[in-house]
Each structure stands twice: as structure tokens, then as C-alpha cells.
Copies of this chain bind each other. A is one copy, B any other.
Amino acid sequence: MARTPQDITDAELAVLQVLWDKGPLPIRRITDQLYPEGKTAQYATVQKLLERLESKACVSRERGGVNIYAAMIDRDDLVGRRLQAVAEKLCGGSWTPLLTHLVQVRGLSEKDRQALRRMIDDFDPRKTKKERRGKEQS
């Protein structure tokens, strides 16, 4: 039973979080965020994490005097990947059980409830874009 490696590890995620928060940065700036007292060793650690993230196409590198790294996936992309993994491994690929779980077990705030009702309508494929536009204006 071949084990499936993590898509993105904890340490890699920490790097991504910095890029999401601060935007594109050189390694040094990322290191400062993650290891405030960081010296050469920690710098190299961040470098290695970026190298792995790049090989997974999760960050891009702008080469130059100093390389600048930027996130190529955003939080929601990653949320999507992880939800997909859950759906595939536990629900035979179906999304519905996830949805049901969230609504029934976790419950909804009043805000959630309103937003959800609106989303259900807005993303109803039976409605044309024109109809949706009309709804928004009302």
C-alpha cells in the first residue's frame, strides 16, 4: 500500500502563508518572517522549501540579482485540493457528503445562512446570466 506524500507540507505551507500575506519577496525577507533571528542555516532551510515548492509549481521565481519568489496558488486553490482529497478518499469522489457535514454538524451562522442562500441562487445554472444580473440590481 504505497503511501501518498503530503501535497504541501507544514513547513512549505508556512512559506506560502508569508507570500500570501506579503506578496512576492526574496528569500531573505521570507526568512525574516519565519525565523526572526535566522542566520545562514535557516536561510538555507527556506531556500530548500522554496525549491520544493517551485518543483510543485506552487511558487514562481523571478531570477535576477536577487531572486524574487511569488505564490502561484492561492489559499482557495489549496483548500480545493485538500477538499478533493477528502472527497476522493472518503466519499468515493462525491462532494455532497462534505457539504452535508458542514451544514449539519458544524452549523451555520446567520451570515452564513444568508450568504449561502444567495450563492445557491446565483450559481443555479438554470438561471441565465441576464436573470442573475437583474437579481443583483433589485
Contacts and interface: CB of A to CB of B under 8 A. Distances in A.
Q: Number of copies of this chain in the oligomer?
A: 2
Given A9-B3, A96-B112, A123-B107, A78 B90 contact: yes
Contacts of A85: 82
Interface string A72-114: 0001101110110110011100011111111111111110110
A68 to B, nearest CB: 23
The 4 closest A-B pairs by CB, nearest first: A1-B11, A82-B86, A103-B119, A95-B106
Interface of A: 1-4, 9-11, 13-14, 75-76, 78-80, 82-83, 85-86, 89-91, 95-110, 112-113, 115-117, 119-120, 123-126
